[in-house]
Amino acid sequence: MTIAPPDNTNKIIRDILAFFAVALFLYLMKAVASIIVPMVIAFFIFIFLNPLLSRMDKLRIPRLLSLVITLAIVAAVFVLFLYVFFLMVNMLMSPESGIPAYAARVNQLDAAMSAWLAPYLDENPETFSLLSWLNINWYSVLMSSLASISSKFIEVLSDALLVFLYLMFIILERQTIHPKLLAALPRGKVQRATQMVERMNKQTSKYLLMKVIISLATGVMFYFASVITHLDFALVWGVLAVILNFIPTIGSIVCTAGTIIMAIIQFAPDWGSIIFVTLLMISIEMVLGNIIDPRMQGMQLNISPLVILISLAVWGYVWGLPGMFLSVPLTSMMQIICANVPSLRPIAILLSEGRNYRKDYDRKRRKKKSMHEETGDIEMPDASQIQRIDPQ
């Protein structure tokens, strides 16, 4: 029987312990979500507002006045968001022009689709219903969801107040962060820790700013596209586009699919209008999400798309919808921390997009190929020959 060397055994034990430590950490984060999530949201709002605070410091505005101005901006944005959101909910619940007005229309489409599909599904066309067969009670689900949102106003308000208080104390503490690092860390590690914090702050702040701009632009475009095509609930699609654009990949797909489904319900069997709405909404999302968004952000996060999807699923499971919104900046911060800790650097490399590593790999491969062209013996470069590149 072969016995593993002590070094390998210790490495295996460390890997197993690290896995269980990460699992325990995620479990604790899920267990205390009601306490942690408001703090994390307040922290990211602070990072987003930190450039404004720094600008006011340079203008020698008193700290108390800058605090009042910042909190007033946050409060005004929150009140505006609540007003628009509940206006949207009331619009959807209106018996004259909201979801109830479309109940008969959906039933007509269900009857037409059921009659067309019944022969293929070996069902009786006179009694078959596609929605009943799929066990979907869409009307009850939508109306109960909207009613629950309206009934949770007090809960949302209390959570927002908690975030507001956390944000206020974080802003008051911002001037003491660097002195605390100087006092708490050994002299040789202070500069490295300070650089890591500044890097996280700058990168996350830039990402959040660009994401807000892109999300607002997407919402405006969806709103005017709905108005131009006479698609109902234009305000709803605009607000949803702003909110869901913060959820990577999935959010834009959900919003675009929602407008297409609405176009089918409203315009069928006018397929010209349906195709026009579909092409317009997909074009907006493709241009803003796949061309303008990457160019404006400059690919500064350097995170693999697969890692983004995995982090979206993990943080969505741990913290629900807030976790999905925060998944990308949280992963970006984790990557920066791993890149600055030598033992965790391989994790930062795996989290990165990998373009630089691929370019270096191809360069080494071409060099090897040119060296062995005469003999035909082509060797692939091994991992030790690939240049180490900073994942950030």
Q: Please provide the DSSP assignment of 274-331 as one string.
A: HHHHHHHHHHHHHHIIIIIHHHHHTTTT-B-HHHHHHHHHHHHHHHSHHHHHHHHHHH
- Cα 331 from chain centroid (whole Å): 10
Residues 356 and 280 in one domain: no
Whether residue 374 is contained in a domain is answered as yes
pLDDT at 3: 53
The answer on pLDDT for 263 being more than 70 is yes
* pLDDT tens digit sequence for 299-332: 556 777 788 888 888 998 898 888 888 888 888 8
Specify the pTM: 0.77
Query: Which residues on neighbouring strands pair with residue 303, listed in sequence order?
Result: 352
Domain boundary residue, one of 272, 300, 328: 300
pLDDT at 289: 72
pLDDT at 42: 92
pLDDT at 222: 93
* pLDDT tens digit sequence for 326-361: 888 888 888 888 877 777 788 888 777 766 666 666
Whether residue 174 is contained in a domain is answered as no
Token pair listed for 348: 């930062």
Residues 316 and 234 in one domain: no
Domain boundary residue, one of 277, 300, 323: 300
Q: Yes or no: say if 339 and 345 are a contact pair by the CB < 8 Å rule.
A: yes
Residues 271 and 323 in one domain: no
Residues 326 and 290 in one domain: no
Q: Give dist(CA 308, CA 247) in Å, integer.
A: 10
Whether residue 14 is contained in a domain is answered as no
Token pair listed for 59: 């203008």
Whether residue 173 is contained in a domain is answered as no
Residues 275 and 322 in one domain: no
The answer on pLDDT for 148 being more than 80 is no
Residue 100 identity (one-letter amino acid): P
In the predicted model, what is the mean pLDDT of the chain? 78
* pLDDT tens digit sequence for 212-238: 888 899 999 999 999 999 888 888 899
Whether residue 254 is contained in a domain is answered as yes
- Cα 323 from chain centroid (whole Å): 8
Residues 390 and 308 in one domain: yes
Residues 295 and 227 in one domain: yes
Q: Yes or no: say if 200 and 330 are a contact pair by the CB < 8 Å rule.
A: no
Whether residue 124 is contained in a domain is answered as no
Closest CA to 208 of 40, 77, 44: 44
**Number of independent structural domains in the chain:** 2
Residues 256 and 314 in one domain: no
Residues 228 and 309 in one domain: no
DSSP one-letter code for 126: T
Domain boundary residue, one of 266, 300, 334: 300
Which domain covers residue 355, as residue numbers? 304-392
Whether residue 380 is contained in a domain is answered as yes
In percent, the amount of the chain with pLDDT more than 70 equals 76
Q: Give dist(CA 348, CA 243) in Å, integer.
A: 29
- Cα 95 from chain centroid (whole Å): 34
Residues 362 and 350 in one domain: yes
pLDDT at 221: 92
pLDDT at 295: 62
Interacting residues of 173 by C-beta distance below 8 A, sequence separation 6+:
none
Residues 278 and 313 in one domain: no
User: Using 50, 70 and 90 to split pLDDT, how confident is the model at 262?
Assistant: confident
User: Using 50, 70 and 90 to split pLDDT, how confident is the model at 84?
Assistant: confident
The answer on pLDDT for 298 being more than 50 is no
